[in-house]
């Protein structure tokens, strides 16, 4: 058994087809099929159930496939560690982004990232937080831009920015005539929410009260995008909560029919962070990524506080200087 065998196993499991798996591995189908049969004979276990052209992982072999994935991920980490030892800023970065951040932040961030990390091409994966975090833990992503606490001791975060929420309604809505609004001004029966799984949904419910989830105007709507909610709000179907970047980037027809009002309480905001594994070998590149992204974001975004490591080190150096001075006396 060798790494190539494990690659074949994972490819067949992912593609569910020997021909497509062989193409993905750049080998002929007979070569791949022969190696799989040899590996099954060596292990004494049938890994795949074959039904015509369809292939599925045998129930008893699922742990084998999972261990194969882990072994390949570990090998990839060895290669990444070697690259990092040569140049910590070189090598691809796989970054996850939640849907309520990606479309609005990336136009600002990508040009700066290409300039600041020329040897680290960025691969973007957009998905919900609950799907990105497992990919991060499983080492399929290097980091993820999220707006909630990851809640996993294996992960840590770098602050990126604080983003205010705006209440968005049709131009003829009563709240559209106000300069500022308060959470209590929002009628839960008119609140449009994203589908379950979106952190923006949870944040809107937390802001407007848990009754908002039951009485929301969009309770019978499964909207998976913020753009859908904004269009519904413009049509007078209700009101919704939107991060400011989603509104500030809109021009002309995209903004037609919408009124966006800030909340009087400046605490009505979300903290956007970069989450990554504590044991990552790409820390230097991710720190550069975070700094580049913060610098590229619009100036009105509240700058998040930097990590406390630098001040602590500064205090430690000052303390050592004071001890040396005392010793000289």
What is the domain-level CATH number for residue 47? 1.10.10.10
Please determine, for residue 237, whether its predicted confidence score (pLDDT) is greater than 80.
yes
Q: Which of 223, 249, 269 is the last residue of a domain?
A: 269
pLDDT grade, residue 308 (50/70/90)?
very low
- Are 96 and 237 members of one domain? no
User: Going by C-beta distance under 8 Å and a sequence separation of 6 or more, which residues neighbour residue 136?
Assistant: 96, 142, 143, 144, 150, 155, 275, 276, 277
* Whether residues 99 and 64 fall in one domain: no
pLDDT exceeds cutoff 90 at 225? no
Residues 300 and 171 both lie in one domain: no
> What percent of the chain has pLDDT above 90?
45
Region of poorest pLDDT, from 13-17, 199-203, 215-219, 222-226: 215-219
Q: Is the pLDDT of residue 307 over 70?
A: no
> How many structural domains are present in the chain?
3
129-138, 222-231, 261-270, 302-311: range with lowest mean pLDDT: 302-311
Place of tokens 């919704």: 240
Strand partners, 163: 270
| Same domain? 213 vs 183 | yes
At 48, which helix (H) or strand (E)? strand 48-51
Q: Are residues 110 and 55 in the same domain?
A: no
Mean pLDDT of the chain: 83
pLDDT at 255: 67
Task: Decide if pLDDT at 190 tops 60.
Answer: yes
Beta strands in 137-237 (DSSP E): 143-146, 155-170, 191-192
pLDDT in tens, 3-47: 999 999 999 999 999 999 999 999 999 999 999 999 999 999 999
| Rounded Cα distance, 71 and 7, in Å | 10
Q: With cut-offs at 50, 70 and 90, classify the pLDDT of residue 77.
A: confident
Q: How far is residue 53's CA from residue 55's CA, in Å, rounded to a whole number?
A: 7
pLDDT category of residue 180 using cuts at 50, 70 and 90: very high
- Among residues 128, 91, 118, the alpha carbon closest in space to that of 292 is found at 118
Q: Residues 114-125: what's their mean pLDDT?
A: 93
Residues 253 and 183 in one domain: yes
- 152 and 183 in a single domain? The answer is no
Same domain, 71 and 216: no
Q: Do 174 and 240 sit in the same domain of this protein? A: yes
Residue-level pLDDT at 320: 44
- At 84, the pLDDT band (50, 70, 90 cuts) reads low
Q: Is 329 inside any structural domain?
A: no
At residue 318, the pLDDT reads: 39
Domain limits for position 104? 89-161+270-305
The residue out of 82, 97, 123 marking a domain boundary is 82
Query: What CATH number has the domain bearing residue 153?
Result: 3.40.190.10
């Amino acid at each position: 058994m060798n790494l190539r065998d494990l690659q074949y196993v994972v490819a067949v499991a992912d593609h569910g087809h020997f021909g497509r798996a062989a193409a993905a591995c750049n080998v002929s189908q007979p070569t791949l099929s022969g190696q799989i049969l040899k590996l099954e004979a060596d292990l004494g276990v049938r890994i795949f159930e074959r039904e015509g052209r369809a292939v599925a992982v045998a129930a008893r072999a699922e742990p084998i496939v999972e261990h194969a994935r882990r072994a390949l991920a570990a090998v990839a980490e060895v290669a990444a560690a070697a690259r990092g030892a040569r140049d910590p800023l070189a090598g691809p970065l796989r970054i996850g982004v939640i849907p309520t951040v990606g479309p609005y932040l990336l136009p600002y961030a990508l040009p700066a990232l290409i300039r600041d990390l020329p040897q680290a091409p960025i691969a973007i994966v957009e998905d919900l937080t609950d799907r990105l975090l497992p990919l991060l833990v499983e080492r399929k992503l290097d980091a993820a831009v999220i707006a909630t606490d990851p809640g996993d001791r294996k992960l840590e975060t770098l602050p990126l920015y604080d983003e205010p929420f705006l209440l968005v309604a049709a131009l003829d809505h009563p709240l559209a005539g106000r300069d500022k609004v308060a959470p209590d001004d929002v009628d839960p029966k008119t609140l449009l929410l994203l589908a379950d799984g979106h952190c923006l949904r949870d944040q809107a419910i937390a802001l407007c009260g848990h009754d908002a989830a039951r009485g929301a105007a969009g309770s019978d709507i499964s909207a998976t995008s913020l753009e859908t909610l904004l269009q519904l709000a413009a049509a007078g179907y209700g009101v919704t909560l939107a991060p400011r970047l989603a509104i500030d980037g809109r021009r002309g027809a995209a903004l037609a029919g919408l009124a966006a009002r800030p909340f009087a309480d400046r605490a009505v905001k979300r903290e956007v962070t970069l989450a990554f594994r504590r044991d990552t070998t790409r820390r230097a590149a991710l720190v550069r990524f975070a700094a580049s992204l913060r610098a590229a974001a619009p100036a009105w975004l509240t700058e998040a506080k930097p990590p406390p490591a630098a001040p602590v080190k500064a205090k430690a150096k000052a303390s050592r200087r004071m001890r040396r001075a005392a010793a000289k006396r």
